[in-house]
Structure 1
Amino acid sequence: MDVLLTNDDGIESTGLRVLADALADLGEVTVVAPAEDQSAVGRTLSKQVTVTEHDLGYAVEGTPADCVVCGLGTLCPDVDLVVSGCNQGANLGEYVLGRSGTISAAVEATFFETPAIAVSLYIPGRDLDFHEYAARESEYAEAVRATTHLVDGALDSGVFEEADYLNVNAPIPERCNESAPSMAVTHPSDVYEMGAEHEDDAVVFRDRIWGLMADGDIPDPGGSDRRAVVEGRVSVSPLTAPHTTHRHDALDSLAETYGDGDPV
């Protein structure tokens, strides 16, 4: 198996290195990752990027989407699978799907018709500053275990005949389900807790869900990605990348009336 490994935390991140080491036991791993932290850039794409060799593979002066285009476009075009992660911090809920650089790398891969897995680590904390916090290698243990399980089995089992990519979120080991580490197939939560407040001359954005998750008291229903992680299970959401269309009579009727009035 040939795997392209990327992320959005940067090529020097612990989460990427532990996955590179683990996936090397399953096949050939080519790392093509941002030279610097590119968190929350979504699918931003550059016109051109500088690529330099690194002891892990290739460091790209660009975004996660840039890395996938570089990798699948020229550096390693014949890989079987793209893995993006492991991100320090969870990527949970519908509203983060287009915002996350980790997930966006997986989405970019699907347009090359290459299956992908995005992997993130949930670290509980009410006021945790991910720019200051550095997760230890041991905290990635369950995320690594889940990723290797999926990488080893997903291609041959037909998983990607139904899904374009998987969004995986794993708890830190101390928050895993004590009875037995388990994996739940989930859907992205539709609960949205973003808010904005005036502070002096600025408007500050806050996502209230993190505090609720830290308390273990969240409004998410069973079956959602966020609920599974808070309960100490690995969440796996099977997703498709292209935007769906739903044709309906109301829009058809509106389109048909275009041009009925006076021309511009």
Structure 2
Amino acid sequence: MKPRILLTNDDGVSSGGLWAAYTALSEIADVTVVAPSTQQSAVGRSISIFEPIRLHKVVINGFDAYAVDGKPTDAVIIGLYALKLQPDLVVSGINIGENLSFESIMTSGTVGAALEAANQGTPAVAFSLEVSDQGMKFDDPRSAMIHGEEIGHVVADVCTRILDSGFPKGADVLNVNIPSTIRGGYEVTRLAHKLFHTGVEERFDPRGRPYYWINGPLIDDAEEGTDVHAVRQGRISLTPVTLDCTAPGAFDEIRKQFCP
């Protein structure tokens, strides 16, 4: 029997990236798509606890899928507990735009879905694709079709290795970032500190009242060994991520301050 994969994302159930992943993964597994019905980028691990969640069975590109009126984490929870899919692996992506650095993975709905799956006891991989034009992140995700067998091959290859050999011990999620132009192989990386030079742009509406856009250009590069550096060099970044956010390096100093 083929292994079972629950496929989700944060760009929405009709995203070209999601269906590129579906095409690649269908060669190696029985894949069920359970994804947000609309664009949900940058919602992190938000969960809908103050409103009901609607589930719709839909047909996209000729294939059955489930559209969830909620967040990526909601989609994972619905897939695991309402649909009772019992997947061997949860895959989130392919996200249109890279998810690199502490800064990005803390807000990413793509990584958030994978973290939620891991939190519920199912191993998970998040896939994101670097885009040469940052404006693509804000286009209709249905138009962001991912072309090229190389991208699908990476998704299928990573998942095949994990399904065959088991999930890497010591990691809860594997965060995979694929460069827009692949010029090298895999590199195991750590998270860089930042992905953007954060800024705020003030504008004024027709009545003269201010409003704000959070913006800022991408960081050109980061130190060697980081996910940002690997992708900028054209290599596929593999970053193991844990759910445990404890900072044991601070234990001694906190004990001195609070437990003399």
- Band the TM-score falls in, shorter-chain normalisation: 0.7 to 0.9
Code of the residue aligned with 1:62 in structure 2: it is G
Q: Structure 2 unaligned segments of length 5 or more: list them.
A: 205-209
Equivalent-residue separation in structure 1 for 2:67 and 2:237 (angstroms)? 29
Superposed, 1:50-199 pairs within 5 Å as: 50-55=54-59, 56-125=64-133, 128-132=135-139, 134-138=143-147, 141-172=149-180, 175-177=181-183, 181-191=184-194, 193-199=197-203
User: What secondary structure is seen at the aligned counterpart in 1 of 2:6?
Assistant: strand
Q: Structure 1 unaligned segments of length 5 or more: list them.
A: 213-217, 258-264
Q: Deviations over 1:88-147 (max 9, x none)?
A: 11111111112010000000001111110000111113x5252226333315x4332111
Code of the residue aligned with 1:182 in structure 2: it is G
When normalised by structure 1's length, the TM-score is 0.85
- List structure 1 runs of 4+ shifted beyond 6 angstroms: none
User: What secondary structure is seen at the aligned counterpart in 1 of 2:76?
Assistant: helix
| Deviation larger for 104-113 or 241-250 | 241-250
| Deviation larger for 38-47 or 181-190 | 181-190
State whether residues 115 and 160 of structure 1, in contact with CA within 8 Å, keep that contact through their aligned partners in structure 2: no
State whether residues 91 and 124 of structure 2, in contact with CA within 8 Å, keep that contact through their aligned partners in structure 1: yes
Corresponding residue of 2:207: none
User: What secondary structure is seen at the aligned counterpart in 1 of 2:137?
Assistant: coil
How many pairs does the alignment contain? 243
| Alignment RMSD (CA, Å) | 2.0
User: What secondary structure is seen at the aligned counterpart in 2 of 1:202?
Assistant: strand
Code of the residue aligned with 1:113 in structure 2: it is G
Equivalent-residue separation in structure 2 for 1:76 and 1:28 (angstroms)? 14
Choose which of 39, 42, 46 in structure 2 pairs with 1:40.
42
Provide the identity percentage. Answer: 35
For the pair 1:10 / 2:12, whether they are aligned, the reply is: yes
When normalised by structure 2's length, the TM-score is 0.86
Which structure has the bigger radius of gyration?
A: 1
Q: Deviations over 1:11-64 (max 9, x none)?
A: 111111121121111111111101111111111111330001122321100000
Equivalent-residue separation in structure 1 for 2:170 and 2:111 (angstroms)? 18
